[in-house]
Amino acid sequence: MVDQPRLAPESAEFASRSGTSATRRAFPQQGVPLIHGINRLGLWTLYVKEVRRFIKVQTQTIWAPAVTTLLFLVIFTVAMGRGDRTILGVNFATFVAPGLIMMGMMNNAFQNASFSFLAGKIQGTIVDYLMPPLSTGELMAGMIAGAMTRGILVGLALAGAMLLWPGVSLGVAHPWAVVWFALMGTALLSLVGLLSSVWAEKFDHNAAVTNFVVQPLALLSGTFYVIDNLSPAFQQVSRVNPFFYVISGFRFGFLGQSDIGATNEAVLHGALGLGLLNAVLAYVTYRVLKSGWKLKG
């Protein structure tokens, strides 16, 4: 909560003489808000605002991306899934489905997080984010949580649609891996999207990040193949791609198998590595927002 503004010296002296003990405490400097603890109401309000923004156009923000990603399943299943082809002991449709779900979640988390600040800067409404009595951490948390919510909703829509596709089985082998990698994947792309939104000055800049960074990393992450089929050099390249660990770890949660490594410990190491990467990226994002770079003229 924000403290009441400091009384003018004359008013404070008058109140002190009148015997009002409540006014004898120290007040913050006039015009400087002082927030104790977490502004829960403000954080919740920002989160609800972000969710309502994409829910109002859910046909465009949830169902359209789900249908587009579902088309990948249809095309690749028809093109590569014939002849009872199996990968990691399951048919091709079951193998590729978790990767497509995770790819749709990450792409939409990025799109949501990369829109808010950029639209505010272009439309001149960025003050709506900067003026409320929210700390930098609360502002960042509200926007990241909203973006992650959109990604998870797209994932749920995709999972429901893929269950209706012939040959797809989405039995969960390791629930912890499904939940952890879903959260880490959407958080990773939400943080990248928020940084992109701060850096970009027009929608072309944001589109460049999508086309030259996010999409290539997502498509070359092992969504449609196992990296064992690649040459040793390209396998090493894949292993420095964080999207590979998100996709493969999420797939491990459904199939119980992964190309991260031959043991479950390898998947756990990948999970911890993603957590560390998100922690570092969150710190960088916090420092950028705290500095006001490209946000405060």
111 and 214 both lie in a single domain: yes
Classified as helix, coil or strand, 86 is strand
144 vs 124, more confident: 144
The answer as to whether 68 is a domain residue is: yes
Q: How confident is the model at residue 92 (pLDDT cuts 50, 70, 90)?
A: confident
The answer as to whether 103 is a domain residue is: yes
123 and 160 both lie in a single domain: yes
Count: domains in the chain: 2
Q: What is the pTM of this model?
A: 0.85
Residue range(s) defining the domain that contains residue 8? 1-34
Stretch among 23-32, 70-79, 141-150, 182-191 having the lowest mean pLDDT: 23-32
The answer as to whether 188 is a domain residue is: yes
247 vs 6, more confident: 247
The answer as to whether 296 is a domain residue is: no
Give pLDDT, residue 10: 46
Stretch among 27-31, 173-177, 210-214, 293-297 having the lowest mean pLDDT: 27-31
103 and 244 both lie in a single domain: yes
Which residue type occupies 259?
D
186 and 255 both lie in a single domain: yes
Q: How confident is the model at residue 13 (pLDDT cuts 50, 70, 90)?
A: very low
Q: What is the mean pLDDT of residues 149-165?
A: 92
The answer as to whether 159 is a domain residue is: yes
The answer as to whether 156 is a domain residue is: yes
17 and 49 both lie in a single domain: no
154 and 56 both lie in a single domain: yes
127 and 13 both lie in a single domain: no
147 and 223 both lie in a single domain: yes
Rounded alpha-carbon distances, angstroms, from residue 247 to 100, 106, 140, 149, 215: 8, 10, 25, 18, 13
Give pLDDT, residue 220: 87
**Secondary structure of 11-32 as H, E, C letters:** HHHHHHHCCCHHHHCCCCCCCC
User: Which residue reads 């924000």 in tokens?
Assistant: 2
Give pLDDT, residue 32: 63
49 and 22 both lie in a single domain: no
Stretch among 15-24, 265-274, 284-293 having the lowest mean pLDDT: 15-24
By the 8 A CB rule, do 177 and 275 touch?
Answer: no
30 and 90 both lie in a single domain: no
15 and 42 both lie in a single domain: no
Contacts of 234 (CB under 8 A, 6+ apart): 227
Which tens digits make up the pLDDT trace of 209-236?
999 999 999 888 888 888 888 888 888 8
Q: What is the mean pLDDT of residues 63-92?
A: 81
Where do the H-state alpha helices sit in 114-231?
A: 116-123, 127-130, 136-162, 175-199, 203-209, 215-219
Residue 293: left if φ>0, alpha if ψ -120 to 50, beta else—which one? Answer: beta
Which tens digits make up the pLDDT trace of 198-207?
999 888 998 9
Residue 20 pLDDT > 70:
no
The answer as to whether 297 is a domain residue is: no
Instruction: Tell me which residue of 61, 219, 91, 226 sits closest to 165, measured CA to CA.
Output: 91
The answer as to whether 127 is a domain residue is: yes
Stretch among 10-14, 178-182, 268-272 having the lowest mean pLDDT: 10-14
Where do the H-state alpha helices sit in 56-115?
A: 58, 64-80, 92-113
262 and 116 both lie in a single domain: yes
